[in-house]
């Protein structure tokens, strides 16, 4: 298989993701899940994702569709890169095993369907927060904990954010 095809094969639908994860579970692989926009990939993203991959055997990254990003209110100019381009760039990272899209405002449904062993978010979230209205609450953490999975927060790299990069580009 050509390398481009290999990268494209990492990008999949939710139903195909469920099938692949079932095969990985037969090999006793620990499935790590995280999500985000990953609009302009930077060192903060790559560091975070590499640390997430270290927590298990397989890393699944769910990315917001373009319409989902727009609903998040990150700005009229977001996403900068379309969903297929964002997914393809992520698939180029060797430690990412699968990229899947979600169109909802939160990844709740896809977490419920994929049932990861480990749910990961950045340290701006709190794995122990139970108040769903709190900005520190990790969506889907209750589901993952209910079936015996774990929820982790990974420290972020200071000085790197997509919003900050966009502001810098605009001279703000």
What is the model's pLDDT at position 103?
Answer: 96
| Buried/exposed 38-73: b ≥16 CB within 10 Å, e otherwise | bbbbbebbbebbebbbebbebbbbbbbbbebbeeee
What is the pLDDT confidence band of residue 165, given thresholds at 50, 70 and 90? low
Q: The pTM is what?
A: 0.93
Q: What angle is formed at CA 12 by the lines to CA 50 and CA 76, rounded to 5 degrees?
A: 75
What is the model's pLDDT at position 170?
Answer: 73
Q: What angle is formed at CA 63 by the lines to CA 45 and CA 89, rounded to 5 degrees?
A: 55
Q: For residue 94, give both structure tokens.
A: 């060797």
**The total number of structural domains that make up the chain:** 1
**Phi-psi group of 148: left, alpha or beta (phi > 0 → left; psi -120 to 50 → alpha; rest → beta):** left
What is the model's pLDDT at position 171?
Answer: 76
What is the pLDDT confidence band of residue 168, given thresholds at 50, 70 and 90? low
Which class for 169: exposed (0-12), middle (13-18), buried (19 or more C-beta within 10 A)? exposed
CB-CB contact of 114 with 21 (8 Å): yes
Q: For residue 5, give both structure tokens.
A: 């095809």
Q: What is the extent of the structural domain holding 132? A: 3-169
CATH number reported for the structural domain that contains residue 28 in this entry:
3.40.50.620
What gap in Å lies between CA 84 and CA 92, rounded to an integer?
Answer: 13
What is the pLDDT confidence band of residue 76, given thresholds at 50, 70 and 90? confident
């Amino acid at each position: 298989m050509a390398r481009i095809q290999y990268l494209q094969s990492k990008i999949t639908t939710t139903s195909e993701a469920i099938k692949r994860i079932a095969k990985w579970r037969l090999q006793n692989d620990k499935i790590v899940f995280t999500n985000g926009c990953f609009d302009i990939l930077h060192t903060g993203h790559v560091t975070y994702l590499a640390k997430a991959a270290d927590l298990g055997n397989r890393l699944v990254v769910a990315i917001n569709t373009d319409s989902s990003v727009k609903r998040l209110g990150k700005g009229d100019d977001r996403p900068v890169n379309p969903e297929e381009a964002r997914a393809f760039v992520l698939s180029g990272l060797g430690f990412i095993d699968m990229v899947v899209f979600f169109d909802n405002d939160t990844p709740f449904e896809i977490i419920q369907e994929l049932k990861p062993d480990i749910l990961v978010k950045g340290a701006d979230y709190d794995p122990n927060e139970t108040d769903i209205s709190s900005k520190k609450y990790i969506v889907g953490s209750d589901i993952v904990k209910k079936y015996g999975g774990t929820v982790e927060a990974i420290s972020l790299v200071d000085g790197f954010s997509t919003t900050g990069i966009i502001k810098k580009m605009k001279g703000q």
